[in-house]
Each structure stands twice: as structure tokens, then as C-alpha cells.
Amino acid sequence: MNGWKKALVAGSITAATVFFLKKRYPAGVLATGIGLAVLAAEYPEKFDRVRRALPDDFDRGLRVMDMAGRAGQRISDRGFDWGELGV
């Protein structure tokens, strides 16, 4: 990767971090997208592999969130007393 591309990616990540910290989310997403576009142009085969794996990863994440939600529901249904734990 050329030096200017590395600088562009690093700058976009830095800018995105600053934007997110300042709660300027649309600008942060845009800056992140610029960096990702440069990386995708430089390494298309790796991004294709990631793109193909995303549906499976997303499905696994949804299952984990569903299990956590059900566990939270069971705890709230039973009326869990945090005082028993000394909290």
C-alpha cells in the first residue's frame, strides 16, 4: 500500500474517532466509509471474504442477543433480589 493511502486510511480513522466522540455520528460514519473504501480498493479479495461471512456472523449475533434477552426476562419474571448477592 502506498504511503498516501496509508495516510488517508489513518486520517479517516482518526477523524471518525473524533467525530464519534463529539457525537457527530453521520460525519463519523462518512469518515469511516472513506477509509473502508480505500482498504476495499486495495484488498478486494479480503473484503469479498468478509462480505460473504457477514450474514452468518449477523445471525450468530442475533441468536446471542435473543438468548440474553430471554435470560433477562427469566430473571425479571422471578423477581431476582440483588440484595442476596450483597449488591
Q: What is the pTM of this model?
A: 0.56
Instruction: Report the alpha-carbon distance of residue 9 to residue 22 in Å, rounded.
Output: 20
Between the CA atoms of 80, 83, 85 and 87, what dihedral angle is there, to the nearest 10 degrees?
Answer: 110
Answer yes or no: is 86 within a domain: no
Q: Which residue range(s) make up the domain with 58?
A: 45-78
pLDDT value of position 16: 95
Answer yes or no: is 68 within a domain: yes
| Apex 22 CA angle, 21 and 23, nearest 5 | 90
Total domains in the fold of the chain: 2
Average pLDDT over residues 19-23: 95
50 and 38 in a single domain? The answer is no
Q: What pLDDT, in 10s, does the model give residues 25-68?
A: 999 999 999 999 999 899 989 888 888 888 888 888 899 999 99
